[in-house]
Structure 1
């Protein structure tokens, strides 16, 4: 095949908020190197491109990708401020050995860096800012008409969620059986595809939406594979080479976005065409293709994956019963010793299916149960609508009563221990979390107490605390007058001295928050 003549063009593009300095990228921003290269043959499979970015002893190797019409790109997320040098490597001369430098400035307001695991069971951004995951599920929102997608973004902007679970591929499932505006591969819908040729327009659209989520301070938990295709398009049953090529292409395009998390699959065990060996290979591909080590998980249907694998940063669990009552959710912490996110604890809604008909009260209750256990819980909404626009799948607007109560909880989390809520005594007290000696949150669940005498796990000689009664459903915070002194009851508990009860309204979903009084200087 005769090679077409090409002209070389080098350009540098910075994906920056308007406040950033011209000619510079901010730390944890996205630097983009654009090159003009060959269009002959199949550039997606025949052209190799990567770049190595260095600063002192630091080195980041970033894969490049073909973006159509002779344009090649390499994206880089600077992990530190200062000058970085880069050098490209390619099997095509016009793309190879291109060098240059860039300056990474201090991050602008709202840029805390990518989320990492901190203190074994919790999360924090790269700059140390705590991240208490308060997520929602909206699988196919980026595969909808423009107006509906913009409505989803407006809802997210006004809502309490700082993470959203979303599919890269479109979804063919109940309340979402329509062809999307764009497809990931070249070919003819519904199922005649060339899995060796991507449609860059599809991925540009996805990137645009991920960037908008980033600007809203929302993490994009990208579900890379899923079973909700049912063979309609065939994206759920590509050959191994097709899966691997697709995964590397997605990571080359999106790994330099600070707000991405990777989910290998939703309900991985429902994808019957794939074996356990396939999933091990897929995990290896994603782990090795990500130079930034973004958070990485895999979500289960009825069978759990090996969540002890150290490449999985946290355990993404589907189990509504684990957060339906006291004492269950925390067991996952002991087994896996990493952050536990109940991404699917069932959904608020009125579906006939048992996974989609929680009351709002039950949805909120499960969030609080997860919090007391030192874990995190995800939201979803499945109310039937005349237009069949259901949040859990297509987005749009929220109609349930749980989100504003979840916002109340998010404020409680923000005012809690910087290291996250942990059970104070996981062996004997399954309703008290916080940080011993400093911060206590006691949740009563569905009980209806009319009074509570402060009694907490601990071995301190004494504690002086302030107290507040939290009505988690009515979203009220009522201070308790004065301070409370706790003294040892035995070797394991502290109790109020004198044993004065705190009056409670006798309604369900109550909590008491107690915080240590700082000693006078």
Structure 2
């Protein structure tokens, strides 16, 4: 096998587009279908990561041989469409609760959360809304160290510019720019957020991002994507973030302060 990934750990495929797009996320979609050792299939979105680079992230759920095949809405794009491969999924490694017990799901009785192996998951979270956005790497690592020591299990945070960070991240980066009717994704913003997401997971904490802050009554309502973006653009933005972070242990908060 040319690739290996541990069970429940993020595997990343990197693809190079052979077509150029003025606004890639608006003009094409990338998918990959993964087939596991017992024939189970999982289909996940890929995402544009700047220039001609596209990526697919996937966390295999079972040990054994996996195969994948990509599909692109632009079937003439030979770099993205109909790419195939295989990899070996090895037993889980690592010390965190997710490495040992897998991601979190709703239990069969619908009354509590558990890991996929049945181990109960107790949700103790902090609303560090601006944490990933406004921290330095050193500050974020210190925060995670403290919360881990205090036996927290999750971190709730906001994933884009919003009313309490209208100028975006600590470097002034925005998740998206352009006209709200046709947004332009900013990959460098999300590459920086990826580092925070990975740090949360590596600390053994559950990522709980708010995807669309939605408050519509504040002075800064136009910066809240759940309020200011039309539905098709809000859906596009959510799909992009789910593609980037869905292979990590994660629970999504769709809106914040809104319906």
Quote the residue 1:132 is aligned against: 122
* CA deviation string 1:431-463 (max 9, x = no partner): xxxxxxxxxxxxxxxxxxxxxxxxxxxxxxxxx
Three-state SS of the structure 1 residue aligned to 2:106 is strand
What is the rounded CA distance, in whole Å, between the counterparts of 1:196 and 1:178 in structure 2? 16
What is the rounded CA distance, in whole Å, between the counterparts of 2:223 and 2:233 in structure 1? 14
Preserved contact between residue 180 and residue 228 of structure 2 (Cα < 8 Å): no
Relative to the length of structure 2, the TM-score reads 0.84
C-alpha spacing 1:121/1:179, structure 2 compared with 1 (3 Å): closer
Deviation at 1:232, TM superposition (A): 5.0
User: Is 2:181 the counterpart of 1:200?
Assistant: no
What is the rounded CA distance, in whole Å, between the counterparts of 2:149 and 2:63 in structure 1? 32
Deviation at 1:212, TM superposition (A): 0.9
Preserved contact between residue 185 and residue 194 of structure 1 (Cα < 8 Å): no
What is the rounded CA distance, in whole Å, between the counterparts of 1:198 and 1:239 in structure 2? 15
Three-state SS of the structure 1 residue aligned to 2:93 is coil
User: Is 2:25 the counterpart of 1:57?
Assistant: no
Instruction: Report the count of equivalent residues.
Output: 241
* CA deviation string 1:303-358 (max 9, x = no partner): xxxxxxxxxxxxxxxxxxxxxxxxxxxxxxxxxxxxxxxxxxxxxxxxxxxxxxxx
- RCO greater where, 1 or 2, for CA within 8 Å and sep 6 or more? 2
What is the rounded CA distance, in whole Å, between the counterparts of 2:25 and 2:54 in structure 1? 10
User: Is 2:196 the counterpart of 1:209?
Assistant: yes
Deviation at 1:49, TM superposition (A): 1.4
> For 2:78, which of 69, 93, 103 is the aligned residue?
93
Deviation at 1:179, TM superposition (A): 5.2
Q: Which runs of 5+ in 2 are unaligned?
A: none
Preserved contact between residue 214 and residue 224 of structure 2 (Cα < 8 Å): no
> For 1:143, which of 119, 129, 133 is the aligned residue?
133
C-alpha spacing 1:193/1:239, structure 2 compared with 1 (3 Å): closer
* CA deviation string 1:243-280 (max 9, x = no partner): 011111111111111x11011112224xxxxxxxxxxx
Deviation at 1:64, TM superposition (A): 1.1
Preserved contact between residue 223 and residue 265 of structure 1 (Cα < 8 Å): yes
Quote the residue 2:252 is aligned against: 262
Deviation at 1:129, TM superposition (A): 2.1
Q: What is the 5 A alignment of 1:69-88?
A: 69-88=51-70
C-alpha spacing 1:178/1:101, structure 2 compared with 1 (3 Å): closer
Deviation at 1:93, TM superposition (A): 2.5
Quote the residue 1:25 is aligned against: 5
Deviation at 1:61, TM superposition (A): 0.8
Quote the residue 2:155 is aligned against: 164
Preserved contact between residue 186 and residue 195 of structure 1 (Cα < 8 Å): no
What is the rounded CA distance, in whole Å, between the counterparts of 1:80 and 1:68 in structure 2? 31
* CA deviation string 1:105-158 (max 9, x = no partner): 111133121111223311211122221112221111111141433432232233
User: Is 2:235 the counterpart of 1:226?
Assistant: no
What is the rounded CA distance, in whole Å, between the counterparts of 1:171 and 1:95 in structure 2? 33
What is the rounded CA distance, in whole Å, between the counterparts of 1:179 and 1:77 in structure 2? 29
C-alpha spacing 1:84/1:179, structure 2 compared with 1 (3 Å): closer
C-alpha spacing 1:149/1:170, structure 2 compared with 1 (3 Å): farther
What is the rounded CA distance, in whole Å, between the counterparts of 1:148 and 1:247 in structure 2? 27
Preserved contact between residue 140 and residue 171 of structure 1 (Cα < 8 Å): no
Q: Which runs of 5+ in 1 are unaligned?
A: 1-11, 13-22, 270-521
What is the rounded CA distance, in whole Å, between the counterparts of 1:224 and 1:177 in structure 2? 15
Relative to the length of structure 1, the TM-score reads 0.44
What is the rounded CA distance, in whole Å, between the counterparts of 1:104 and 1:141 in structure 2? 33
Deviation at 1:178, TM superposition (A): 6.0
What is the rounded CA distance, in whole Å, between the counterparts of 1:243 and 1:161 in structure 2? 31
Quote the residue 1:114 is aligned against: 103
Q: What is the 5 A alignment of 1:216-365?
A: 216-227=203-214, 230-233=220-223, 235=225, 236-257=227-248, 259-269=249-259
Deviation at 1:33, TM superposition (A): 0.9
What is the rounded CA distance, in whole Å, between the counterparts of 1:51 and 1:44 in structure 2? 16
Q: CA RMSD in A?
A: 2.2
Deviation at 1:195, TM superposition (A): 4.2
Q: What is the 5 A alignment of 1:408-423?
A: none
Deviation at 1:68, TM superposition (A): 0.6
Preserved contact between residue 52 and residue 86 of structure 1 (Cα < 8 Å): yes
What is the rounded CA distance, in whole Å, between the counterparts of 1:232 and 1:267 in structure 2? 14
Three-state SS of the structure 2 residue aligned to 1:202 is helix
